[in-house]
């Protein structure tokens, strides 16, 4: 498209130092077309180069309900971009001599246990924040998501011992939020401050992030804040904010483009504030951006990368010509964000959105990044737009086929009788799931997670479909029962119907035993 080519040419001037020649309209067009292509209500974008803000602007609306404009001051949940703050905080405690990365977790949380006794005794602070615990992707996330549950931090610390590993300790990268929640508890016990108090007083305030808060509940002025949106049953709709305060150390911060540009500038200035105050020693700051857990690089990597992996709260890779890239993404139910820095170019790119479609932020970040790196126009909008449309179509087809079989199963006279299915099913870490039948249909609810309830629909003689009442979750599941010799259900397992379901809906990790 012409505007993409124009963007590249404009940025080509910018990379030679003529920052003023970047045309705002070119960027506006990029964001505008991204909004339309990916059906995102609002996006705010920021670029900082050589310590100067090149672009800071929002487009679209912050809410489909109030139709108010998105702008550079609009607050958005940055989600897992909060993890960098958690690790920065722990590093500050190391500078103060209060802990070390390789201290055992049980030194600070004696009640901490993993499934394996040896792993329990050898699990370190570093292990908490590098996604190498051995647990599966998102294991245990149902203890904090969706938000209307009654799990506490102490419950999570107690329950992780029931989560069975999917790989050997320290061998594979498997993203895990609960370990960051436990890291937040370590910070609390060592510093004497809550995670939220520490982040706001020890980092945000001295850095100059004047509008940011460490949690949704601490935002007192909600006059310029997004509403969350997601695609539910084929249509983008507004949904309520959804994030458990328990999980703040893994993803609770709310910020805006202006403050996130301030954060990027601070980090690329070697963790020194605008008034010259160093918040972290050069040694510890260097440690944050060192590779801890390797990840594979794709054979045809788009940026000719040689390595990829996770540091301490940050993803790390190299891009064209060996430029080190430090980055992270974040996702809540209804919003996704991306934070990218290429320190040796003194370049930071921020993209905040209010709809959970990562193709949107990748389109914007990659297009801007390409221009600074000197790539010719690769038309990320078209490429990712096509991929996104195909992906949604693919997922919709899977779900449509499943519900066709559900409709046909209604006439199957060999299905189990209600008395064979109804009852209470317990999982050691998640608690009870209760299945009832009112004479017409089955219902299912999760005892400790109030908004997880819905209908249980027959699929075949052993498998049912859990159709959650809240369609915005997009997390319908297969529920497969095993039966005893009397033909009564004795246990059940679950798995997602479609790949689009967020990994934090980790129903596949449940081992449900019928107890009543």
- Asked if residue 398 belongs to a domain, the reply is no
Task: Give the mean model confidence (pLDDT) for residues 80-88.
Answer: 98
Same domain, 330 and 450: no
- Asked if residue 139 belongs to a domain, the reply is yes
Greater model confidence, 19 or 183: 183
- Asked if residue 427 belongs to a domain, the reply is yes
Residue with tokens 């990044």: 369
Same domain, 351 and 448: no
- Asked if residue 10 belongs to a domain, the reply is no
- Asked if residue 488 belongs to a domain, the reply is yes
Closest of 516, 473, 513, 470 to residue 493, by C-alpha: 513
Query: Residues of 44-67 as b/e, b for ≥16 C-beta within 10 angstroms?
Result: bbbbbbeeebbbbbbbbbbbbeee
Give the domain CATH number at 219: 3.40.710.10
Same domain, 411 and 508: yes
- Distance, in Å, from the CA atom of 379 to the CA atom of 381, rounded to the nearest integer, reads 5
- Distance, in Å, from the CA atom of 372 to the CA atom of 321, rounded to the nearest integer, reads 12
Same domain, 182 and 252: yes
Q: What six digits make up the tokens of 395?
A: 């997922």
- Asked if residue 462 belongs to a domain, the reply is yes
Domains in the chain: how many in total? 2
| Domain of residue 90, residue span | 46-290+323-356
454-496 pLDDT, tens digit per residue, is 999 999 999 999 999 999 999 999 999 999 999 999 999 999 9
Distances (CA, A) of 189 to 98, 108, 126, 198, 292: 10, 7, 17, 12, 25
Say what the pLDDT of residue 256 is: 98
- Asked if residue 217 belongs to a domain, the reply is yes
Give the domain CATH number at 480: 2.40.128.50
Same domain, 340 and 430: no
pLDDT tier for residue 24 given thresholds of 50, 70 and 90: confident
Torsion, CA 363, CA 368, CA 370, CA 376, rounded to 10: 90
Same domain, 150 and 58: yes
Residue with tokens 């693919």: 394
- Asked if residue 13 belongs to a domain, the reply is no
Same domain, 214 and 339: yes
309-356 pLDDT, tens digit per residue, is 999 999 999 999 899 999 999 999 999 999 999 999 999 999 999 999
pLDDT tier for residue 132 given thresholds of 50, 70 and 90: very high
Distances (CA, A) of 508 to 348, 392, 432: 37, 22, 15
């Amino acid at each position: 498209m012409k505007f993409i080519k124009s963007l590249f040419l404009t940025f080509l001037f910018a990379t030679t130092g003529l920052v003023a020649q970047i045309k705002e309209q070119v960027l506006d067009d990029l964001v505008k077309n991204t909004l339309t292509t990916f059906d995102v209500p609002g996006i705010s974008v920021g670029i900082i180069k050589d310590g100067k803000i090149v672009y800071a602007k929002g487009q679209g609306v912050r809410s489909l309900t109030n139709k108010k404009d998105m702008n550079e001051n609009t607050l958005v949940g940055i989600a897992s971009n909060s993890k960098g703050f958690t690790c920065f905080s722990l590093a500050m405690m190391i500078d103060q001599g209060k802990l070390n990365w390789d201290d055992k977790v049980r030194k600070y949380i004696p009640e901490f246990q993993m499934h394996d006794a040896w792993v329990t005794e050898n699990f370190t602070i570093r292990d908490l924040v590098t996604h190498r615990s051995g647990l599966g992707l998102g294991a245990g996330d149902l203890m904090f998501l969706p938000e209307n549950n009654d799990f506490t931090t102490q419950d999570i610390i107690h329950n992780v011992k029931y989560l069975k590993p999917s790989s050997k300790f320290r061998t594979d990268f498997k993203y895990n939020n609960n370990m960051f929640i436990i890291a937040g508890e370590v910070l609390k016990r060592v510093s004497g401050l809550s995670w939220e108090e520490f982040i706001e007083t020890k980092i945000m305030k001295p850095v100059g992030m004047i509008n940011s808060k460490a949690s949704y509940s601490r935002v007192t002025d909600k006059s310029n804040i997004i509403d969350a949106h997601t695609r539910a049953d084929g249509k983008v709709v507004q949904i309520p904010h959804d994030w458990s305060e328990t999980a703040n150390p893994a993803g609770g911060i709310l910020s805006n483009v202006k403050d996130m540009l301030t954060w990027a500038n601070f980090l690329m200035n070697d963790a020194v504030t605008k008034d010259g105050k160093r918040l972290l020693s050069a040694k510890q700051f260097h440690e944050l951006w060192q590779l801890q857990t390797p990840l594979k690089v794709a054979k045809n990597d788009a940026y000719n990368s040689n390595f990829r992996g996770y540091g301490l709260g940050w993803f790390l890779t190299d891009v064209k010509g060996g430029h080190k890239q430090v980055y992270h993404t974040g996702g809540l139910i209804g919003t996704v964000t991306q934070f990218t820095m290429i320190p040796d170019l003194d370049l930071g790119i921020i993209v905040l959105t209010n709809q959970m479609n990562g193709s949107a932020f990748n389109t914007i970040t990659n297009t801007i990044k390409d221009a600074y790196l000197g790539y010719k126009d690769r038309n990320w909008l078209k490429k990712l737009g096509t991929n996104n449309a195909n992906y949604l179509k693919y997922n919709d087809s899977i779900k449509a086929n499943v519900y066709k079989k559900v409709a046909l199963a209604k006439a199957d006279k060999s299905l189990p009788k209600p008395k064979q299915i109804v009852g209470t099913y317990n999982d050691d870490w998640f608690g009870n799931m209760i299945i009832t039948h009112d004479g017409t249909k089955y219902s299912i609810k999760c005892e400790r997670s109030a908004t997880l309830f819905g209908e249980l629909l027959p699929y075949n003689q052993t498998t049912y479909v859990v159709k959650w009442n809240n369609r915005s979750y997009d997390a319908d599941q297969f529920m497969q029962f095993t039966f005893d010799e009397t033909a009564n259900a004795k246990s059940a397992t679950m798995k997602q119907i479609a790949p689009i379901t967020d990994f934090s809906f980790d129903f596949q990790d449940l081992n449900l035993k019928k107890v009543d």
